[in-house]
C-alpha cells in the first residue's frame, strides 16, 4: 500500500512538472512586480497580457484554478499530498497563481463549512471558473474593531430581504460582482442578530464610492445599500447565526494576510543593501543597518520554521498553540518592519513618488500600503487581545 | 523531517520532568546556593546517570544510547524549567560532544566509559577574554624532548571547580595550528581562580604554567583542532538554547499564573490590556524560539550542513527572547519580583549568564550576517 501510494505520488509529480513546463508561458514564471499582473477575474476582469490569458485558460481546463476542491464543486479534486506537490512544482518553476479572488481564499472555506449543498454547487463552481469577483462587506463606519456593532439591516419581506445601510473599506468594492455581507437581522442581541448574506452588486440600490489611500492608490470603496432586494436563498447558514461564519472566515483572512511576504523575491534585503550601501572588508558598510537586517532575517527565517512546525504539529494531531491571530500579527509585523527597513536601505531613492526611475514610486507606495497590514483583517491590538484571552486565558476583570 | 518530536523523544521528556519534579524542584537550586554555592549534588548526578542521560549522545559502539541531540535537548529544556544545578552542560553537552569527534580511539573509549558511568566530570577551557571569541587563542603548546608543555590562561570555564578533566584549546608552537588536549585538572602547574557568577554557578579562570603532558593526551589530530572546536561550539550553542527555552517557558508560565491571581484596583492585574498585549507578544516570541531550537537540534542529528547558521540563529534568538521574557517576568511581578524570596529572579540571573556563554546575540547575529555574505 505505502509503496504504491509513493509510486503514484512520484508519477504525479513528474506528470505535473512536465505539464507545467509545457503549458506555463515563460512570462508567467517571472516574479510578480505589480498588482495588475494578477488576474482577479469577474465580469469586468481584464487580462493584462496575452500570456496571462493563456495561462488562466490552461489552468481552467485542467480544473486547477482551485485544485484542492472536490470536482463536483469545480475543483481539481487533488488530495492534500497531491496539492502540496502541485504547489511545490509551481514554486519550483516560479509559476504565478493563475487567478486571485477573495472567493477562493475567504468565502470558499466558509461556504464549504456552512452553506447548503445547493449553494455550494452553485457558487463554488462559479468561483472555480473565475466568473465572479467577490468582495468583503464586513466593516462599517461604526463597526471596525467592534465589528459586531454593525447596523446595515436586512428586513424579512417574505420572499426576500430588504437591505439598507452602508459598508466601508470594501477592498476593490467598485470592481466586485458579488459581496459577502454581514447584516443585522435582529436587534435583540448584539452577536446573535447577525446574518451572512450574499448580495449581487448589480442589484438596484447598490452603489459604491472609491476611497483614496495614503499610497495614492484607490483599491477601496464605500458601499451603499439603499433598499436593496436580496433573494432569501442568498442567506448562508442559519438566520441570526452569521457571527459564527464571520469569525470562521476571519481566521482564513488572517492566515492569508499573515502570509503577505516579500513582493520582490529576486533579491534579499541584504543583497539590495550591498548594492545601495556597498561593502568594506566584506561587511556591509553601515554596521547599524547591517545588524538591523540580520535581526530581521533571523526573525523571518524562524517565522517560516514556525509556520512549518504548526503544519507538522497539526499533521501529527497535536495542537501547536499558535493560532491564526498570532500568525496574522507576526507575519504582518515582519512584513511592515521590512518595508520600513527597505526605506533605510535605499535612502533618497526610496521616497521618490512619481519619477520614471522609481517606477512611479513603487517602493514608496508599497511602504505606505504596508501600514494597512496591521489594520486590515483585525488590527494588531485586536489580535493581541485574542491571544491574551483565548490562548493565555487572561481574565477580563 | 517534520518539525515535531517523536514518541520516544516525548517519553524521554516526560521521564526527565518526572525525575526533576521530584529530585530537583527550583527550591533545590536555592538550597544548593544557600549551602555556600554548592555546585554538585552527587545523589542527583547518580540518578541522572542511572536514567542514562550521560550516555544519550554516545554511539552504541562505545556502549552509549545513541539517542541523539533532539533527545538531549528535551532533557536540557526540562532542566531549564527547574534551573537544575548539574554538570550536564559541561560534561555531557560540551565535553562528550567534543570527545565524540576525536580520532584518538584509546582516549575516547576510556573517557566515554568514565563519563557515562558518572565517574568523571569534564569541562572545556577555551575562552580567553571577556567576550566569546574562538578565533583568538594565545595559549601555547611547546615541545621539550618527548614532553609537551602548555602555557596560557583560560577564562569562564563552566564547572571548572568540580571537573576531573579539562579539555584545553591551545596553539601548537611548531605548526601554528589549534590543538585540543585533555588534562587531569590536578596536574602540576594548573591554578584555579573560581568565581561565582550571577546565576550562583561557579566559573573558573584557570592559568596553565608549564603544565606537562604527553602525546597520548591529544584529542585533535592532523590539524583538525579548529574544526572540532567549532563543531562542538555550534552544538553547545544549540544545547544551551534548549536549556534557555526551558527557562523562559517556566518564567512565562509563572508570570501568567501571577497575572491571574494578583488583584489591584479591585480586578485581576491580568485584565489590564497593557499587560495582556505584552504577554501576547511574549507568547509569540516563545513560539518562535521553540521552532528554531527544535530545527537546530534536528540539524545536529541529521548532520545538516546548515548547522552553523541554525546554531547562531538559535543562540541569538534565545538570547534576545530570554532578555525580553525575564525582564517582563520581574516587572509584572512588581515589588515581589525584586525579592530574593521569589523564584522569578533566578530566571533573570541564569539567563544573563547563558546569554553570554558561547557568544551573545551580538556575536551570533554578526556571524549570521557573515555566513550570508554581508
Ligand atoms: C488595507 C485595508 C483593507 C481592508 N479591507 C476590508 C474589506 O475588504 N472589507 C471590510 O469589511 N473591511 C476592510 N477593512 C477594514 C478593517 O477590517 C478595519 O479597518 C479594521 O477592522 C479596524 O477598524 P477601524 O478602521 O474602524 O478602526 P477602529 O476599530 O476605530 O480602531 C482604531 C484604533 O483603536 C484600536 N482599538 C479598537 N478597539 C480596541 C480594543 N478593544 N483594544 C485595543 N485597541 C483597540 C485599534 O487597534 C486601532 O488602533 C480594510 C482595512 C484596510 C486598512
Which is nearest to A252 in space by CA: A66, A87, A104, A372? A104
pTM score: 0.91
Residue B100 lies in a domain: no
d(CA B20, CA B243): 14
Residue A362 lies in a domain: yes
A149 and A66 within one domain:
no
| Helix (H/G/I), strand (E/B), else coil: B250 | helix
Residue A125 lies in a domain: no
How confident is the model over A112-124, as pLDDT tens digits?
Answer: 999 999 999 999 9
For residue A83 and ligand 1, the question of a CB distance below 6 A is answered with: no
- Backbone dihedral angles phi then psi of residue B77, each to the nearest 5 degrees: -60, -45
**Per-residue CA distances from B177 to B166, B237, B347 (Å):** 19, 24, 39
Going by alpha carbons, the residue nearest to atom 35 of ligand 1 is: A381
Which runs of consecutive H residues, i.e. helices, occur in A158-286? 242-258, 269-277
Q: Tell me, what CATH number does B260's domain have? A: 1.20.140.10
> Taking 80 as the threshold, does the pLDDT of residue A266 lie above it?
no
Q: How many CB atoms lie within 10 A of CB B215?
A: 10
- H-helix or E-strand spanning residue A375: none
Confidence of residue A305 (pLDDT cuts 50, 70, 90): very high
Is-contact B161 B194, C-beta < 8 A?
yes
Q: How many CB atoms lie within 10 A of CB B346?
A: 22
Q: Is B204 exposed, middle or buried (0-12, 13-18, 19+ CB in 10 A)?
A: buried
Say what the pLDDT of residue A153 is: 97
Q: How far is CA B270 from the centre of its chain?
A: 34
A306 and A193 within one domain:
no
Confidence of residue A32 (pLDDT cuts 50, 70, 90): confident
Distance A169 CA to ligand 1 centre (A): 9
Gap between the terminal Cα atoms of chain A? 56
d(CA B369, CA A292): 10
Which is nearest to B125 in space by CA: B72, B65, B203? B203
The residue among A321 and A279 whose pLDDT is bigger is A279
A371 and A303 within one domain:
yes
| Helix (H/G/I), strand (E/B), else coil: B192 | strand
> Taking 60 as the threshold, does the pLDDT of residue A361 lie above it?
yes
How confident is the model over A365-386, as pLDDT tens digits?
Answer: 999 999 999 999 999 999 999 9
Percent of chain A with pLDDT strictly greater than 70: 96
d(CA A397, CA A394): 9
Beta strands in chain A (DSSP E): 134-137, 153-156, 160-171, 178-184, 194-200, 206-211, 220-231, 235-236, 279-280, 283-284
- Backbone dihedral angles phi then psi of residue A210, each to the nearest 5 degrees: -70, 150
State the nearest Cα–Cα gap between A280 and chain B, in angstroms.
10
Confidence of residue A260 (pLDDT cuts 50, 70, 90): low
Is-contact B159 B90, C-beta < 8 A?
yes
A220-231 vs A160-171, strand pairing mode:
antiparallel
B318 and B235 within one domain:
yes
Say what the pLDDT of residue A321 is: 59
How confident is the model over A124-173, as pLDDT tens digits?
Answer: 999 999 999 999 999 999 999 999 999 999 999 999 999 999 999 999 99
Say what the pLDDT of residue A253 is: 87
Is-contact B360 B319, C-beta < 8 A?
yes
Q: How far is CA A53 from the centre of its chain?
A: 22
Pick from B193, B217, B241: which residue ends a domain? B217
Pick from B192, B217, B242: which residue ends a domain? B217
Residue B65 lies in a domain: yes
Confidence of residue A3 (pLDDT cuts 50, 70, 90): low
Is-contact B52 B90, C-beta < 8 A?
no
B283 and B198 within one domain:
no
Q: Which three cell numbers, joined as nine digits, stand for A317?
A: 494531531
A231 and A141 within one domain:
yes
By most ligand atoms within 8 Å of CB, the mutation choice from A142, A145, A389 for ligand 1 is A145
Say what the pLDDT of residue A219 is: 83
d(CA A79, CA A91): 18
d(CA A228, CA B136): 78
Q: Picking from A254-258, A306-310, A391-395, B31-35, which range would have the lowest pLDDT averaged per residue?
A: A254-258
| Helix (H/G/I), strand (E/B), else coil: B191 | strand
DSSP B187: -
B307 and B286 within one domain:
yes
For residue A382 and ligand 1, the question of a CB distance below 6 A is answered with: yes
Residue B266 lies in a domain: yes
Q: Average pLDDT, whole number, for chain A?
A: 92
Which runs of consecutive H residues, i.e. helices, occur in chain B? 7-23, 26-34, 42-50, 69-82, 97-100, 105-116, 225-261, 273-301, 307-333, 344-354, 361-371
Q: How many domains does chain B have?
A: 3
For residue A67 and ligand 1, the question of a CB distance below 6 A is answered with: no
> Taking 60 as the threshold, does the pLDDT of residue A265 lie above it?
no
Say what the pLDDT of residue A315 is: 85
Point out the ligand 1 atom lying closest to the alpha carbon of residue A145: 29
d(CA B311, CA B318): 11
> Taking 70 as the threshold, does the pLDDT of residue A322 lie above it?
no
Q: How many CB atoms lie within 10 A of CB A269?
A: 20
> Taking 60 as the threshold, does the pLDDT of residue A264 lie above it?
no
Q: List the domain range (segments joined by +) for residue B278.
A: 225-371
For residue A320 and ligand 1, the question of a CB distance below 6 A is answered with: no
Q: At what angle do helices B225-261 and B273-301 cross, to 10 degrees?
A: 150
> Taking 70 as the threshold, does the pLDDT of residue A2 lie above it?
no
Q: How many domains does chain A have?
A: 3
Q: Which three cell numbers, joined as nine digits, stand for B21?
A: 519534579
For residue A180 and ligand 1, the question of a CB distance below 6 A is answered with: no
d(CA A36, CA A48): 7
Say what the pLDDT of residue A330 is: 96
Q: Tell me, what CATH number does A212's domain have? A: 2.40.110.10
A346 and A318 within one domain:
yes
Confidence of residue A267 (pLDDT cuts 50, 70, 90): confident
Which is nearest to A342 in space by CA: A331, A353, A334? A334
B58 and B165 within one domain:
no
A360 and A315 within one domain:
yes
Q: Which residues of B touch A290 (CB under 8 A)?
A: 369, 374
> Taking 70 as the threshold, does the pLDDT of residue A15 lie above it?
yes
- Backbone dihedral angles phi then psi of residue A283, each to the nearest 5 degrees: -110, 150
Residues of B with CB under 8 A from a CB of A: 2-4, 256, 259-260, 267-268, 270-271, 273, 275-277, 279-281, 283-284, 287-292, 294-295, 313, 316-317, 362, 365-366, 368-370, 372-374
Which residue in this structure is represented by grid cell 527544535? Answer: B294
DSSP A143: B
Largest CA distance in chain A: 78
The residue among A397 and B217 whose pLDDT is bigger is B217
How confident is the model over A45-83, as pLDDT tens digits?
Answer: 999 999 999 999 999 999 999 999 999 999 999 998 899
Q: List the domain range (segments joined by +) for residue A92.
A: 2-100
**Per-residue CA distances from A1 to A5, A8, A51 (Å):** 6, 11, 41
Q: Which three cell numbers, joined as nine digits, stand for A138?
A: 464586513
Q: Tell me, what CATH number does B21's domain have? A: 1.10.540.10
Say what the pLDDT of residue A251 is: 87
d(CA B211, CA A101): 74
Residue A121 lies in a domain: no
Which residue in this structure is represented by grid cell 495542537? Answer: A319
**Per-residue CA distances from A100 to A84, A170, B55 (Å):** 18, 16, 54
A367 and A320 within one domain:
yes
A358 and A236 within one domain:
no
Is-contact B316 B365, C-beta < 8 A?
yes
Q: Which long-range contacts (CB under 8 A, 24 or more apart) does A305-309 make?
A: A305/B3, A305/B288, A305/B291, A305/B292, A305/B295, A306/A330, A306/B287, A306/B288, A306/B290, A306/B291, A308/B3, A308/B291, A309/B3, A309/B4, A309/B290, A309/B291, A309/B294
Task: List per-residue pLDDT tens for chain B, 374 residues long.
Answer: 899 999 999 999 999 999 999 999 999 999 999 999 999 999 999 999 999 999 999 999 999 999 999 999 999 999 999 999 999 999 999 999 999 999 999 999 999 999 999 999 999 999 999 999 998 899 999 998 889 999 999 999 999 999 999 999 999 999 999 999 999 999 999 999 999 999 999 999 999 999 999 999 999 998 999 999 999 999 999 999 999 999 999 999 999 999 999 999 999 999 999 999 999 999 999 999 999 999 999 999 999 999 999 999 999 999 999 999 999 999 999 999 999 999 999 999 999 999 999 999 999 999 999 999 99
Q: Which three cell numbers, joined as nine digits, stand for B250?
A: 517556566
B345 and B258 within one domain:
yes
Residue A280 lies in a domain: yes
> Which of B13, B265, B284 would you mutate first to test chain A, the one with the most A CBs within 10 A?
B284
For residue A376 and ligand 1, the question of a CB distance below 6 A is answered with: yes
B167 and B289 within one domain:
no
Say what the pLDDT of residue A256 is: 79
Which residue in this structure is represented by grid cell 489591584? Answer: B264
A337 and A223 within one domain:
no
B78 and B212 within one domain:
no
> Taking 70 as the threshold, does the pLDDT of residue A334 lie above it?
yes
Q: Tell me, what CATH number does B211's domain have? A: 2.40.110.10
Pick from B217, B250, B278: which residue ends a domain? B217
Kindly write down the DSSP assignment for every residue of B289-332, as one continuous string. HHHHHHHHHHHHHTT-TTHHHHHHHHHHHHHHHHHHHHHHHHHH
A292 and A201 within one domain:
no
- Backbone dihedral angles phi then psi of residue A101, each to the nearest 5 degrees: -160, 135
Percent of chain A with pLDDT strictly greater than 90: 81
Say what the pLDDT of residue A37 is: 85
Amino acid at each position: 500500500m505505502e509503496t504504491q501510494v509513493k509510486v503514484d505520488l512520484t508519477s504525479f509529480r513528474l506528470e505535473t512538472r512536465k505539464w507545467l513546463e509545457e503549458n506555463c508561458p515563460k512570462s508567467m514564471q517571472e516574479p510578480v512586480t505589480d498588482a495588475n499582473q494578477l488576474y482577479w477575474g469577474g465580469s469586468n476582469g481584464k487580462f493584462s497580457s496575452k500570456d496571462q490569458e493563456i495561462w488562466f485558460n490552461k489552468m481552467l481546463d485542467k480544473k486547477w484554478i482551485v485544485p484542492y476542491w472536490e470536482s463536483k464543486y469545480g475543483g481539481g479534486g487533488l488530495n492534500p499530498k497531491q496539492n502540496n506537490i502541485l504547489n511545490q512544482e509551481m514554486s519550483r518553476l516560479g509559476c504565478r497563481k493563475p487567478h486571485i479572488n477573495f472567493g477562493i481564499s475567504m468565502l470558499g472555506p466558509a461556504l464549504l463549512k456552512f452553506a447548503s449543498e445547493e449553494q455550494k454547487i452553485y457558487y463554488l463552481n462559479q468561483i472555480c471558473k473565475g466568473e465572479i469577483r467577490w468582495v468583503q462587506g464586513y466593516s462599517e463606519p461604526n463597526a471596525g474593531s467592534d465589528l459586531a456593532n454593525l447596523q446595515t439591516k436586512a428586513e424579512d419581506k417574505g420572499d426576500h430581504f430588504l437591505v439598507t445601510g452602508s459598508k466601508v473599506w470594501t477592498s476593490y468594492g467598485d470592481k466586485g460582482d458579488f459581496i459577502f455581507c454581514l447584516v443585522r437581522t435582529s436587534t435583540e442581541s448584539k452577536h446573535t442578530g447577525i446574518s451572512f448574506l450574499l448580495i449581487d452588486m448589480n442589484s438596484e440600490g447598490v452603489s459604491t464610492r472609491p476611497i483614496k489611500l495614503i499610497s495614492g492608490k484607490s483599491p477601496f470603496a464605500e458601499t451603499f445599500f439603499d433598499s436593496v432586494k436580496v433573494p432569501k436563498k442568498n442567506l448562508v447558514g442559519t438566520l441570526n447565526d452569521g457571527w459564527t461564519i464571520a469569525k470562521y472566515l476571519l481566521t482564513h483572512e488572517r492566515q492569508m494576510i499573515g502570509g503577505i511576504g516579500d513582493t520582490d523575491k529576486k533579491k534579499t534585503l541584504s543583497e539590495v543593501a550591498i548594492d545601495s550601501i556597498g561593502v568594506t572588508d566584506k561587511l556591509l558598510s553601515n554596521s547599524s543597518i547591517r545588524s538591523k537586517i540580520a535581526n530581521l532575517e533571523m526573525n523571518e527565517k524562524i517565522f517560516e520554521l514556525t509556520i512549518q512546525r504548526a503544519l507538522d504539529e497539526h499533521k501529527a494531531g497535536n495542537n501547536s498553540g499558535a493560532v491564526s491571530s498570532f500568525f496574522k500579527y507576526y507575519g504582518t509585523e515582519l512584513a511592515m518592519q521590512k518595508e520600513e527597513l527597505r526605506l533605510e536601505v535605499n535612502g533618497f531613492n526610496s521616497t521618490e513618488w512619481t519619477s520614471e526611475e522609481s517606477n512611479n514610486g513603487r517602493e514608496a507606495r508599497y511602504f505606505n500600503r504596508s501600514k494597512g497590514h496591521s489594520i486590515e483583517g483585525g488590527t494588531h491590538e485586536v489580535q493581541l487581545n485574542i491571544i491574551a484571552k483565548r490562548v493565555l486565558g487572561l481574565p477580563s476583570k | 523531517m517534520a518539525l515535531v518530536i517523536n514518541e520516544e523523544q516525548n517519553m524521554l521528556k516526560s521521564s526527565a520532568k518526572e525525575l526533576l519534579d521530584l529530585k530537583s524542584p527550583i527550591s533545590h537550586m536555592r538550597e544548593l546556593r544557600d549551602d555556600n554555592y554548592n555546585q554538585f549534588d552527587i545523589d542527583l548526578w547518580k540518578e541522572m546517570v542511572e536514567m542514562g542521560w550521560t550516555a544519550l549522545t554516545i554511539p552504541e559502539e562505545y556502549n552509549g544510547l545513541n539517542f541523539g541531540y533532539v533527545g538531549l535537548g528535551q532533557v536540557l529544556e526540562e532542566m531549564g524549567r527547574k534551573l537544575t544545578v548539574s554538570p550536564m552542560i559541561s560534561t555531557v553537552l560540551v565535553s562528550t560532544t567534543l570527545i565524540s569527534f576525536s580520532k584518538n580511539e584509546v582516549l575516547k573509549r576510556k573517557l566515554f566509559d568514565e563519563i557515562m558511568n558518572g565517574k568523571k566530570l569534564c569541562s572545556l577551557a577555551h575562552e580567553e577574554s571577556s567576550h566569546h571569541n574562538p578565533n583568538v587563542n594565545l595559549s601555547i603548546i611547546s615541545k621539550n624532548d618527548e614532553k609537551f608543555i602548555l602555557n596560557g590562561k583560560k577564562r569562564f570555564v563552566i564547572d571548572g571547580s568540580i571537573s576531573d578533566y579539562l579539555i584545553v584549546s591551545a596553539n601548537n608552537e611548531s605548526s601554528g595550528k589549534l590543538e585540543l588536549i585533555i588534562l587531569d585538572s590536578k596536574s602540576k602547574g594548573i591554578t584555579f581562580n573560581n568565581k561565582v557568577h550571577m546565576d550562583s554557578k561557579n566559573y573558573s579562570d584557570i592559568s596553565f604554567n608549564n603544565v606537562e603532558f604527553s602525546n597520548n593526551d591529544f584529542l585533535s589530530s592532523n590539524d583538525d583542532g579548529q574544526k572540532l572546536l567549532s563543531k562542538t561550539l555550534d552544538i553547545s550553542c544549540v544545547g544551551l538554547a534548549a536549556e534557555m527555552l526551558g527557562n523562559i517557558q517556566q518564567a512565562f508560565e509563572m508570570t501568567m499564573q501571577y497575572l491571574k491571581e494578583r488583584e489591584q484596583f479591585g480586578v485581576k492585574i491580568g485584565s489590564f490590556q497593557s499587560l495582556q498585549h505584552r504577554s501576547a507578544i511574549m507568547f509569540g516570541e516563545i513560539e518562535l524560539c521553540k521552532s528554531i531550537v527544535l530545527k537546530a537540534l534536528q540539524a545536529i542529528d541529521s548532520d545538516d550542513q546548515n548547522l552553523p547558521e541554525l546554531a547562531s540563529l538559535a543562540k541569538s534568538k534565545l538570547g534576545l527572547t530570554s532578555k525580553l521574557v525575564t525582564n517582563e517576568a520581574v516587572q509584572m511581578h512588581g515589588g515581589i519580583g525584586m525579592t530574593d524570596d521569589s523564584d522569578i529572579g533566578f530566571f533573570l540571573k541564569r539567563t544573563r549568564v547563558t546569554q553570554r556563554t558561547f557568544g551573545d546575540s551580538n556575536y551570533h547575529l554578526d556571524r549570521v550576517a557573515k555566513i550570508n555574505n554581508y
